[in-house]
Structures are given as C-alpha cells and as structure tokens.
Amino acid sequence: MAEHGRVVRRYAATGEPEDELLTIGDPLPLEQARLAELGLPADGDLRSASDEQIEEWTEITFGLAPEIAAAYGVSPFTLTRETKVRGTGVLALTPGTTDHRS
C-alpha cells in the first residue's frame, strides 16, 4: 500500500526466519479486524500468539491482499475488458529494491 508515492504498508510472510523484518508499517484496518477475530493484538505483534493462531493468521493473510486491494482501490481479480480506465497505473518499489525493469 502506498500513499503519495511512499510505501506505508507491506506485509510479508515467507515462512523463513525473521520474515517479519520484511514487513513495513502498521496493520491496515482490515488486517486489524481479522487479527481481532483471532484474538490477536491489532498491532500484529504475534510474539505471544500460539502456534495455532499464527498458522491460522498465515492462512488468512494469503487471501487478504485482493480484499485489501478492493477496499482501497481495485482488485486485480475484478478487472475485465469492460473496466473503465483513466489515469496511469503505477507499481511502488519498496525500500531495499535495487533492481527493476521497465
């Protein structure tokens, strides 16, 4: 999620040790709601969560991106040939990105 050209939220769950270091920003309201449903802290701090809660949260997050995209703009899953387009689409490069292709 970017605002005014600045990345404000990126969630990363790679399954690798310390993957939380790839996450940028605080959980968005939609993420906070899902965390609350699981009885987890709204700030996304999972250090006190059980293995079961972490596993359930990880499963939820895999499907959450399109829902967040739809809530804040356009979900890529709803685009069709009939979708009216205006302006220019952009892709944000996150901090640490060193290679990109145009």
pTM of the complete model beyond 0.85? no
In this structure, of 19-23, 48-52, 55-59, the range with the lowest mean pLDDT score is: 19-23
In this structure, of 8-17, 32-41, 54-63, the range with the lowest mean pLDDT score is: 8-17
Q: Does residue 100 belong to any structural domain of this protein?
A: no
Q: How confident is the model at residue 66 (pLDDT cuts 50, 70, 90)?
A: confident
Q: Does residue 45 belong to any structural domain of this protein?
A: yes
Q: Does residue 83 belong to any structural domain of this protein?
A: no
- Determine the angle formed by the axes of helices 29-37 and 51-72, rounding to 10 degrees: 150
Domain of 73?
A: 2-78
Q: Does residue 88 belong to any structural domain of this protein?
A: no
Burial of 40 from C-beta contacts in 10 A (0-12 / 13-18 / 19+):
buried
Q: Does residue 9 belong to any structural domain of this protein?
A: yes
Q: Does residue 95 belong to any structural domain of this protein?
A: no
Please state the domain count of the chain.
Answer: 1
The residue whose two tokens read 């499907």 is: 63
CA end-to-end distance (rounded Å), the chain: 20
Query: Token digits for 72?
Result: 């804040």
Q: Does residue 101 belong to any structural domain of this protein?
A: no
